[in-house]
């Protein structure tokens, strides 16, 4: 006996729907991984800046100039947000970010063991806040 055409078409359609569902799910998972990587990276860099400058004694070490030092010294708490992607090259990472609603250029270095270290913070005097 032959299968009815209705059964074979419904079987084909259900297989296509299952395959499409799997492909859409995999695409969504891949897309979220890519997006969350940037979010996690920015969070990590913000955390590095916050912990590095939390002690007032470290401010001179990381400040590029006197204006940056005085600006950072005036804050009691730090809210750091990375506003750009990495503009550096090789082991130098350069970001534009805001610290307490003031714009700064923030430079990091990648160490040989893969860790990232804050190198310098510079106040942008000519940017709109």
Q: What is the pLDDT of residues 75-121, one digit of tens each?
A: 888 999 888 877 878 889 898 999 998 999 999 998 888 888 999 99
Query: Helices in 2-122 by DSSP H: which ranges?
Result: 5-53, 59-62, 66-73
Statement: residue 28 has pLDDT above 90 = no
Is 78 contained in some domain? yes
Residue 128 lies in a domain: no
How far from each other are the two terminal CA atoms of the chain, in whole angstroms? 78
Average the pLDDT over each of 1-10, 16-25, 54-63 and give the range with the smallest value: 1-10
* pLDDT at 129 (0 to 100): 47
Determine, yes or no, domain membership for 80: yes
Average pLDDT over the chain reads 83
Q: Is residue 82 part of a domain?
A: yes
Asked if pLDDT for residue 22 goes beyond 90, the answer is: yes
Helix, coil or strand: residue 86: coil
Residue 46 lies in a domain: yes
**pLDDT higher than threshold 80 for residue 128:** no
Q: Is residue 110 part of a domain?
A: yes
Average pLDDT score over residue span 38-64? 84
Residue 109 φ then ψ, to 5°? -120, 145
Over range 32-44, report the average pLDDT: 69
Which residues span the domain enclosing 42? 5-123
Cβ-contact 76, 59 below 8 angstroms: no
Strands 116-123 and 80-82, how do they pair? unpaired
C-alpha to C-alpha distance for 70 and 48, rounded to whole angstroms: 20
Instruction: Say how many domains are in the chain.
Output: 1
Q: Is residue 20 part of a domain?
A: yes
* Residue 27 located in a structural domain: yes
- Look-up of token digits 């990472």: 93
């Amino acid at each position: 006996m032959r299968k009815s055409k209705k059964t074979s078409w419904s079987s084909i359609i259900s297989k296509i729907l299952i395959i499409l569902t799997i492909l859409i799910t995999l695409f969504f998972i891949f897309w979220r991984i890519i997006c969350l990587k940037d979010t996690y990276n920015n969070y990590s860099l913000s955390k590095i800046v916050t912990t590095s400058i939390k002690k007032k004694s470290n401010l001179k070490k990381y400040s590029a100039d006197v204006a940056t030092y005085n600006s950072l010294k005036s804050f009691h708490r730090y809210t750091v947000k990375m506003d750009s992607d990495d503009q550096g090259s090789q082991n130098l990472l350069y970001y534009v970010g805001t610290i307490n609603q003031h714009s700064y250029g923030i430079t990091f270095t990648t160490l040989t063991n893969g860790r990232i270290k804050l190198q310098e913070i510079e106040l942008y005097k000519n940017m709109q806040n």
